[in-house]
Amino acid sequence: MKGTLIGVGVGPGDPELLTIKAVKAIQTADVICYHCKPGGTSTAASIAAEYISDEQRIEVLEYPVTTGSTDHPGGYAGALADFYAEATSRLAAHLASGETVVVLALGDPMLYSSYQHLHRALAQDYPAQVIPGIPSITAAADALELPLSEDKETVCIVPGTLDPQELATHLRMADSAVVMKLGRTFETVRTAMIEAGVAHRAHVVVRASMKDQRIFPLLEAKAEEVPYFSVAVVPSTIASSEPSEASRGEVVVVGLGPGAHRWTTPEVIAELRSATDVVGYSTYVRRVPQRQGQRHHLSDNKVEAERAAMALDLAKRGRKVAVVSSGDPGVFAMAAAVLEVAEDEQFRDVPVRIVPGMTAAQAVASRVGAPLGHDFGMISLSNRLKPFEIVERRVKALAGADMAFACYNPASKERRWQIERVAQLVAQVQEPSTPVIVARAVGSEQESVTVTTLEAFDPSIVDMRTMVIFGASTTKVYESAQGTRVYTSRYYG
């Protein structure tokens, strides 16, 4: 009969947090196995010590190295590979003789645990089971007495050994987070949290649930006070969604991208999650998931100035306001509207930040290749805020300069003739074969993209969800396995 391998989670540190099932497994095992650093002791073994008897055999798996520095010819990875090969062989010998082997793991065996390597190597040949343990993640949140997540919030669990920029990106994307493996990574983790804008609400919990447990606000912690057995916790945002009377408000104008959620940047998502208020045209505000405690202010698409004033007034009262636009906020969107109103004396002291987003022109261009791959223009055909004579003059200039250009707001229910007029103006200087891209609802299930020519272009199919890109004399079209490809050449002559 083959023996059984059992991975036992011993919890974060307090022996009283061992589960009944874990205790039974430890007491009845033939062999107790645990890891430790070179010449060191095992925290996992000390937690379970009172349940281990003198009759049980002990297998101590002493790491050859705990940092990246080693004399092994294969480097750190080679040293650990040899270590796990030797450890697997030792445990396999016990299992082959029919003995039950318990491997002690701090926290939970399947969360950043050394047991995982042994399980992968042995479970295919021997019976195996895993007994869960309380992880330091929840133990730290409980020590703080702060919710780790509520309602529909997401939790990010990451190791502090990540690249700082990658770590910051993960922290921006999540509502709450726990960073493990601190110690020598602490300063890097703190820098990433500051960059991600979450450091002010983060705490460090040292040796959660142990007798020498300590808690610091992250920004007050000193690196020498943060050992490896520490976690940094960014708790739920819901409890702190209401600003204090002394808090300083601000307006952040963000771009949601052209429509598909995947085109909204992590930076924008982080700003939306931390906002107390979201202000914008109703269609765009509905794209933002509403969080508990967050207020959404929907308005018509023709009241940009009033919308900007509302956002600035909310910020004066201490709110953190996200003003949302489709695409990029600086391209025919709310950034200019907010700054115009913010110039008024009553709003001069309100901080205003602009966070970029992917433009609709970029998204449409990507669908066919690179029609805007060289010098190009972007123009709005709406004459609500400017006379159409100005639009005509600028279209003539773009076409006359032989530049590809994208047309925003090309038509609506009331405005049907402008796009036809633009096509006529382009036809005065460009060849009938000039490529034209007609793209509707890009990024949605209703997406439709057509590559046609100036001569064959049908303005009647254009509506407000459509963008039209007129090519230049250097814009080329060819067929490939991916379909029709369009690009504007970087070369002349």
d(CA 446, CA 466): 11
At which of 240, 268, 298 does a domain end?
Answer: 240
d(CA 278, CA 272): 7
What is the β-pairing status of strands 404-408 and 466-470?
Answer: antiparallel
Q: Report the predicted TM-score, pTM, of the whole model to 2 decimal places.
A: 0.68
Query: 101: pLDDT confidence band, cut at 50, 70 and 90?
Result: very high
In 3D space, the residue among 7, 3, 2, 1 whose CA is nearest the CA of residue 119 turns out to be 7
CATH number at residue 333: 3.40.1010.10
Interval 115-169: pLDDT, tens = 999 999 999 999 999 999 999 999 999 999 999 988 778 899 999 999 999 999 8
Label residues 242-279 b or e (16+ Cβ within 10 Å = b). eeeeeeebbbbbbbbbbbeeebbbebbbbbbbbbbbbb
Least confident piece of the model among 79-83, 97-101, 364-368: 79-83
Looking at residue 70, what is its pLDDT?
75
Q: Are residues 119 and 9 in the same domain?
A: yes
Q: Are residues 212 and 183 in the same domain?
A: yes
CATH number at residue 401: 3.30.950.10
Q: Are residues 17 and 128 in the same domain?
A: yes
Least confident piece of the model among 201-210, 248-257, 268-277: 268-277
Percentage of the chain with pLDDT > 90? Answer: 76
At which of 70, 103, 133 does a domain end?
Answer: 133
Q: Are residues 220 and 295 in the same domain?
A: no
The whole domain housing 205 covers 137-240
Q: Are residues 108 and 213 in the same domain?
A: no
Looking at residue 492, what is its pLDDT?
76
Angle between helices 115-122 and 75-96 (to 10 degrees): 60
Does residue 493 form part of some domain? no
Looking at residue 464, what is its pLDDT?
83
Angle between helices 266-274 and 164-173 (to 10 degrees): 50
Looking at residue 293, what is its pLDDT?
79
Q: Is the pLDDT of residue 216 over 50?
A: yes
Does residue 81 form part of some domain? yes
Residue 178 contacts residue 140 (beta carbons within 8 Å)? yes
Q: Are residues 350 and 392 in the same domain?
A: no
Looking at residue 414, what is its pLDDT?
75
283 burial via Cβ count (<10 Å: 0-12, 13-18, 19+): exposed
Q: Are residues 55 and 39 in the same domain?
A: yes
Q: Is the pLDDT of residue 416 over 90?
A: no
- Stretch 252-272: mean pLDDT: 90
CA angle 293–294–296, rounded 5-degree value: 140
Does residue 367 form part of some domain? yes
Residue 76 contacts residue 68 (beta carbons within 8 Å)? yes
Does residue 245 form part of some domain? no
Does residue 255 form part of some domain? yes
Better-predicted residue by pLDDT, 403 or 242: 403
Angle between helices 334-342 and 304-316 (to 10 degrees): 60
Altogether, the residues listed in the chain come to a count of 493
Interval 171-187: pLDDT, tens = 988 889 999 999 999 99
Question: In sequence order, what are the beta bridge partners of 279?
Answer: 297, 323
Q: Are residues 474 and 430 in the same domain?
A: yes
Extract the runs of DSSP E, i.e. beta strands, from 109-197.
Answer: 128-131, 155-159, 176-180
Q: Are residues 367 and 382 in the same domain?
A: yes
Q: Are residues 322 and 371 in the same domain?
A: no
Query: 493: pLDDT confidence band, cut at 50, 70 and 90?
Result: low
- Stretch 91-101: mean pLDDT: 97
Looking at residue 66, what is its pLDDT?
66
Residue 21 contacts residue 144 (beta carbons within 8 Å)? no
Q: Distances from the Cα of 229 to the Cαs of 12, 76, 137, in angstroms? A: 9, 21, 11
Q: Are residues 105 and 33 in the same domain?
A: yes
Percentage of the chain with pLDDT > 70? Answer: 97
Q: Which helix (H) or strand (E) holds 48?
A: helix 43-48
Query: 246: pLDDT confidence band, cut at 50, 70 and 90?
Result: very low
Domain count across the chain:
4
- Stretch 60-80: mean pLDDT: 79
At which of 133, 156, 179 does a domain end?
Answer: 133
Alpha helices per DSSP H over 288-406: 304-316, 334-342, 360-368, 388-400
Looking at residue 67, what is its pLDDT?
66
Looking at residue 245, what is its pLDDT?
45
Q: Are residues 58 and 98 in the same domain?
A: yes
Does residue 17 form part of some domain? yes
DSSP 398-435: HHHTT-EEEEES---SS--SHHHHHHHHHHTTS-TT-E
Does residue 304 form part of some domain? yes
Q: Average model confidence (pLDDT) for the chain? A: 92
